[in-house]
Amino acid sequence: MKKKTNSTVFNLESYFPTVQLGRQLLDQEMKNCRRQKLSVLKIIHGYGSSGKGGNLRIGLRSYLKSLQKQDKIKAFVSGEDFSIFDQTAREILQAAPELRQDRDLERHNHGVTFILL
């Protein structure tokens, strides 16, 4: 019997998108997640090749802030804050307990973001 999961991973980085295309792909993936009744979406967007944090990471997180203000997502937490000591991360772990086994928990990974849908 397969365990029910409440989360999925979307490797956005593999598309090498611009910020605009990244937003479009993210919107489509969030729609897919909602159809599947998933609670959490983990995005792999990468850190950026400049060493200063890439445009995709910065642009997507800014976009997520606007979606949260519009009540289109409940919350999000950056990979660097994905810790049991972060309130939003705890909400995400409650919604998708399988993420307690996620390799990025407590790893401070700047290249990922978790979205509570």
The tens digit of pLDDT for each residue in 5-33 reads 899 999 999 999 999 999 999 999 999 99
The tens digit of pLDDT for each residue in 41-61 reads 999 999 875 554 589 999 999
Tracing tokens 């409440």 back to the chain, one arrives at 6
Binning pLDDT at 50, 70 and 90, where does residue 38 land?
very high
Q: Is the pTM of this model over 0.85?
A: yes
Domain boundary assignment for the chain: 7-116
Considering only the top CATH level, what class is 7-116?
alpha beta
